[in-house]
Amino acid sequence: MSSPSKGNPGNSDPIRPELADLIRRTSLGLDENRPDAVARRKKKNQRTARTNVEDFCDPGSFIEYGALAIAAQRTRRTEEELMVKTPADGLIAGIGSVNGGLFGEENSRCMVLAYDYTVLAGTQGFFSHKKMDRMLKLAHEQEIPLVLFAEGGGGRPGDVDAAGVVIAGLDLFTFAKFGGFSGKAPLVGIVSGPCFAGNAALLGCCDVIIAAKNSNIGMGGPVMIEGGGLGVFQPEEVGPIDVQTNNGVVDIAVEDDVEAVAAAKKYLSYFQGAIKDWKAPDPNPLRKIIPENRRQAYDMRIVIKGIADVDSFLELRPAYGPGIITGFIRIEGKPFGIMANNCQHMAGAIEAEDADNAARLMQLCNVHGIPIVSLIDTPGFMVGPDIETRAQVRHVCRMFVHGSHLTVPYFSVVVRRGYGLGAMAMAKGGFHESVFTAAWPTGEFGAMGLEGAVKAGFKKELEAQKDPEARAALFNKLLNQLYDRGKAVNMASYLEIDSVIDPVDTRKWIMKGLMSAPIRSAKEANLPFVDPV
């Protein structure tokens, strides 16, 4: 590419050689001057890192840091080749605004760090680490959201220029500073394609991971696996998307780069504040969603969407811990975290992974100052020998520990079953721990599942009935007595819950409760970071 000879539009003065050289060097790394690299990305149905950054940030808002860096390989390649083949040393870094049209540019500043797979497979080089450390210092000082595009293969062994000053490079600040940023502002990871070793180590520190279906994520890639004597594998065999969604590593799975960027912008918006334009759903279906048959399942996601503003629900980790649905919603434009029992999975009994989902949502909301809505329909914690092999005791008790340390407003609504310790955990540890605990008229309560309570509490009486029909009749009589005693209206009359409400009034109750509850700043959160688990 020849050097420009003309000045800016409207200025006929010739460009000085120094400026011409700057323009030439800068342009070498742009997508339009790297057609082969762009073509390789298109062949894989992927966009370039620069295209993703441009799509993520508001037009014209991104200011790049360290764009002139090249790989530390001057002793093995010419500088001109390095400028063409290793622009920015494979790490595009800078600050721009995101969703500025909704929240204003001043409130939408965001740091973006994007590994460029067209540069040495997105590996982490000597100068890209130095650049990363510089950006992380700024992130800690400014406490603005940080978004990481993490595609890449980890550490780069070919940076021979650093050989004289680096042995193993384990004294880097990068990973400590990146992990230390958790809790200071939202930390979002995005991946499309392979993400291994050092890149995966950064990705795993993020509050939320958004991954395209072509992603492969692993703490070690094929090279490290083979080097460790563990066999020879293709990148596609290590940590594919179905594995990483089922085990909870990936929070939001999407189709491709385009959807990944859109999901990241939507996720980030919940932490940027309220929006003015919102649409309320029709609440009337909520009156009919709970089946008259107490044992019949229903779709809790319909309940969530019947309470949330239209198109405002973003679910996290749907394939992991499916017994508790978690995510974010808006009500009257204001952001809330949402957690809800899923009676379509194990009747809503809370398992270890379900509790992990709930505890993690509590942390995300608490550290960033977002109120929480809990929709309760559970027979309690799952019990039995099998569940205890999954460390049930430790996992489910995370809900009590994190719940007791919440500083954000918490609203509990029992839509059907509120039994035992599991229901208490869903209500921040107890029915009088939330700003309010209300129930729909379909609510039913007990210290444990009512059927089990009859079997355990009246065992002698039932065994005394030798006739099977008489025993069944007695069982049903005792069960109905417990059911009548545990009805929502009776619970409310004993002041064990705060009220029984019409389902169509749920949004109103939450918003009135929010107006009454002091919202502490994220700085006052008792847990100052987000657990990656």
Burial class (CB in 10 A: 0-12, 13-18, 19+), 433: middle
- In which band, very low, low, confident or very high, does the pLDDT at 12 lie, cut at 50, 70 and 90? low
What spatial distance separates the first Cα and last Cα of the chain, rounded to whole Å? 49
CATH number of 284-443+487-519: 3.90.226.10
- H or E stretch at 450: helix 450-457
Cite the DSSP H helix spans in 270-419: 300-307, 352-368, 385-388, 392-404
Q: What is the pLDDT of residue 520?
A: 63
- In which band, very low, low, confident or very high, does the pLDDT at 160 lie, cut at 50, 70 and 90? confident
Q: What is the pLDDT of residue 199?
A: 96
532 vs 36 pLDDT, higher one: 36
Neighbours of 167 (CB within 10 A): 8
How far apart (Å, rounded) are the C-alpha atoms in residues 193 and 216? 6
Closest C-alpha to 442, from 290, 276, 293: 290
533 vs 68 pLDDT, higher one: 68
Place of tokens 């982490």: 124
- In which band, very low, low, confident or very high, does the pLDDT at 479 lie, cut at 50, 70 and 90? confident
Q: Tell me the torsion sign for CA atoms 12, 14, 19, 21.
A: positive
- In which band, very low, low, confident or very high, does the pLDDT at 5 lie, cut at 50, 70 and 90? very low
Q: What is the pLDDT of residue 462?
A: 83
- Report domain extents, the chain: 17-269, 284-443+487-519, 449-485
Is residue 523's pLDDT more than 60?
A: no
Closest C-alpha to 436, from 407, 410, 404: 410
Question: What does the DSSP 8-state code read for residue 349?
Answer: P
Closest C-alpha to 449, from 485, 488, 419, 416: 419
12 vs 199 pLDDT, higher one: 199
Average pLDDT score over residue span 36-53: 95
Report in angstroms the alpha-carbon separations of 290 from 38, 441, 487, 496: 52, 10, 15, 22
Neighbours of 225 (CB within 10 A): 17
How far apart (Å, rounded) are the C-alpha atoms in residues 410 and 427? 8
pLDDT tens digits, 63-92:
999 999 999 899 989 999 999 999 999 999
CA angle 208, 336, 518 (to 5 degrees): 120
pLDDT tens digits, 441-476:
999 998 877 777 778 788 888 888 888 888 888 888
Q: What is the pLDDT of residue 172?
A: 83
Residue type, 280: A
pLDDT tens digits, 349-401:
999 999 999 999 999 999 999 999 999 999 999 999 999 999 999 999 999 99
333: left (phi over 0), alpha (psi -120 to 50) or beta: left
Task: Please give the share of the chain, as a percent, with pLDDT higher than 90.
Answer: 77
How far apart (Å, rounded) are the C-alpha atoms in residues 435 and 514? 8
Is residue 478's pLDDT more than 90?
A: no
pLDDT tens digits, 123-138:
999 999 999 999 999 9
Closest C-alpha to 316, from 245, 258, 260, 265: 245
Q: Tell me the torsion sign for CA atoms 120, 135, 363, 518.
A: negative
User: Which residues make Cβ contacts (< 8 Å) with residue 39, sequence separation at least 6?
Assistant: none
Same fold, 17-269 and 284-443+487-519: yes
Report in angstroms the alpha-carbon separations of 38 from 2, 33, 202: 21, 9, 25
**Residue 190 and residue 157 in contact, taking contact as beta carbons nearer than 8 Å:** no
Is residue 6's pLDDT more than 50?
A: no
b or e along 83-114 (b: 16 or more beta carbons within 10 Å of the residue's beta carbon)? bbbbbbbbbbbbbbbbbbebbeeeebbbbbbb
Report in angstroms the alpha-carbon separations of 158 from 20, 172, 205: 31, 18, 26
**Residue 80 and residue 291 in contact, taking contact as beta carbons nearer than 8 Å:** no
Q: Read off φ and ψ for residue 313, nearest 5 degrees.
A: -85, 125
Residue type, 455: K
- Beta partners for residue 253, in sequence order: 211
Q: What is the pLDDT of residue 1?
A: 33
b or e along 172-195 (b: 16 or more beta carbons within 10 Å of the residue's beta carbon)? bebbebbbebbbbbbbbbbbbbbb
User: Which residues make Cβ contacts (< 8 Å) with residue 219, sequence separation at least 6?
Assistant: 196, 197, 200, 201, 204
Strands 208-212 and 187-191 turn out to be parallel
DSSP assignment of 22-85: HHHHHHHTSGGG-HHHHHHHHHTT---HHHHHHHHSPTT--EEESTT---S-TTTS-HHHHHHH
Q: What is the pLDDT of residue 526?
A: 57
Strands 324-331 and 314-316 turn out to be antiparallel
Fold entry, domain 17-269: 2-enoyl-CoA Hydratase; Chain A, domain 1 (3.90.226)
Closest C-alpha to 118, from 56, 46, 65, 69: 46
**Residue 52 and residue 261 in contact, taking contact as beta carbons nearer than 8 Å:** yes
